[in-house]
Amino acid sequence: MTKDFIVLTDRYIAATYARYPIALVRGEGCMVWDSEGKKYCDFVSGLAVNNLGHSHPRIIEAIRRQAGELIHVSNLYHIPQQTELARMLVENSFADKVFFCNSGAEANEAAIKLTRRYYNDRGKGDRYEIITMTNSFHGRTMATITATGQEKFHKGFEPLVPGFKYVPFNDLSAVEAALTKNTCAVMVEPIQGEGGVNLPAEGYLKGLREICDAHNLLLIFDEVQTGIGRTGELFAYENYGAIPDIMTLAKSLGGGVAIGAMLAKGNIIKSFIPGTHAATFGGNPLACSAGIAALKAIMEEGIISNCKQVGAYFIKRLTGLKERYPFILDIRGKGLMIGLELDFPGKDITITCMEKGFLINCTMENVLRFLPPLIIGEREVDQLIDILDEIFRGKVPKVS
Ligand SMILES: *Cc1c(COP(=O)(O)O)cnc(C)c1O
């Protein structure tokens, strides 16, 4: 049965993804089931999308209710659900206003366009250069692959969009050295996700804020992966005491429904006047109803404190493994965004985990990445640790 899916996928779907040979058809809480009825504990969460777990009753109810009333209308008209979700985001962040779209890349596109427009409006059209970081990830559109500081995402798609410059993550003096009279912004993930779960060094994000203030630059935080509770705060910047001018969200914002958002301070987002930017589906009633339900659940159900507590426990257990296996180079993370760096490729380990009923991700070839639903418990963590321990035990070279 699964074999049939695979044959049809190969026949009809562009081969942009290297897929695991299973088809997931149902989910509940931290568990998902494949088309043959095999159950998995989900430490991927659709790549930090299903922060509430699968089939959360409030998301289901919100989508069902809204689908029966009105799924989509144009932004030619007022959309109450969009206004309400924006109000909730503004009241819980640094931002004054929100622009809605449908994905992380689109939210970052909006941030890049807003930045250019903001300087243009001030007669400074020559300030268009955005500094981003090596090993960053900002999306797959032309501008966002350009913003992404990893050559593998550029290859074969040149010419790229002009106006981006890369410096190493966690290096403040490299940012200062890269400044020119054309620089307009610094764009950074507070914690790099795709790039291997790289945490900001002590004082790094605050240091970026200071550089931006000193040189009149905008600071853009890409919180597409880190946002909505993932790091033990509603937004990752709250962990580090550095406030951006613009922030982008997507992944878990809609509780599984596609939605993206760009949030900004009022004096900046003022540059988005009618006609400057748009998205047909952006902030439609269905996506925003799901977003409202997801945000309420995150804030009212103790989910962020669970994320903090279980995240700390998870890191402690992984650190225990690291002490026993020298090929584990590093354990790092914040909340439930956690990486385990190996000194060999991790793909085989993800496959063995899958066979044993646990879904985990591997990024940058050798970093096992754990992004479980924020409702996960210590019991599930213990089970995964046992599996990893068993796999790692088999990797230890036998003394002959
Ligand atoms: C996933 C991701 C994106 C891209 O989001 P899409 O919805 O796939 O366009 C951008 N930035 C970060 C930090 C991400 O993790």
CA dist 197 and 208 (Å) reads: 19
- pLDDT, one tens digit per residue, over 199-209 is 999 999 999 99
Q: Determine if ligand 1 sits within 6 Å of the CB of residue 153.
A: no
Is position 137 annotated as part of the catalytic site? yes
Residue 395 pLDDT > 90: no
Q: What is the pLDDT of residue 397?
A: 59
Dihedral angle at the C-alpha atoms of 331, 332, 334, 336, nearest 10 degrees? -40
Give the model's confidence band at 20: pLDDT under 50 very low, under 70 low, under 90 confident, else very high.
very high
110 Cα to the center of ligand 1, angstroms: 13
Residue 400 pLDDT > 70: no
Out of 102, 133, 141, 225, give the residue to mutate to test ligand 1, the one with the largest number of ligand atoms within 8 Å of its CB: 225
68 Cα to the center of ligand 1, angstroms: 30
CA dist 219 and 205 (Å) reads: 10
List beta partners, residue 337. 334
Q: Determine if ligand 1 sits within 6 Å of the CB of residue 223.
A: no
Q: What is the pLDDT of residue 366?
A: 98
Residue 112 pLDDT > 70: yes
CA dist 189 and 175 (Å) reads: 15
4 Cα to the center of ligand 1, angstroms: 31
Is position 113 annotated as part of the catalytic site? no
Q: Determine if ligand 1 sits within 6 Å of the CB of residue 103.
A: yes
Q: Determine if ligand 1 sits within 6 Å of the CB of residue 149.
A: no
The proportion of the chain whose per-residue pLDDT surpasses 70, expressed as a percent, equals 98
Residue 396 pLDDT > 80: no
- pLDDT, one tens digit per residue, over 302-328 is 999 999 999 999 999 999 999 999 999
Ligand 1 atom 6, closest CA:
104
- pLDDT, one tens digit per residue, over 84-105 is 999 999 999 999 999 999 999 9
Is position 251 annotated as part of the catalytic site? yes
Please identify, by atom number, the ligand 1 atom nearest to the C-alpha of residue 226.
13
CA dist 62 and 68 (Å) reads: 10
Q: From the CB of residue 180, how many other CB atoms can be counted at a distance below 10 Å? A: 10
Residue/partner pairs of 173-182 with CB below 8 Å, 24 or more apart:
175/131, 175/208, 175/211, 176/211, 178/131, 179/131, 179/211, 179/215, 180/129, 181/126, 181/127, 182/126, 182/127, 182/128, 182/129
Task: Kindly report the pTM of this predicted structure.
Answer: 0.97
Q: From the CB of residue 263, how many other CB atoms can be counted at a distance below 10 Å? A: 27
Averaged confidence pLDDT in the chain = 97
Q: What is the pLDDT of residue 140?
A: 98
Catalytic residue among 34, 251, 281, 334: 251
180 Cα to the center of ligand 1, angstroms: 28
Catalytic residue among 43, 99, 137, 169: 137
Domains along the chain with CATH numbers:
2-56+302-393 (3.90.1150.10), 58-300 (3.40.640.10)
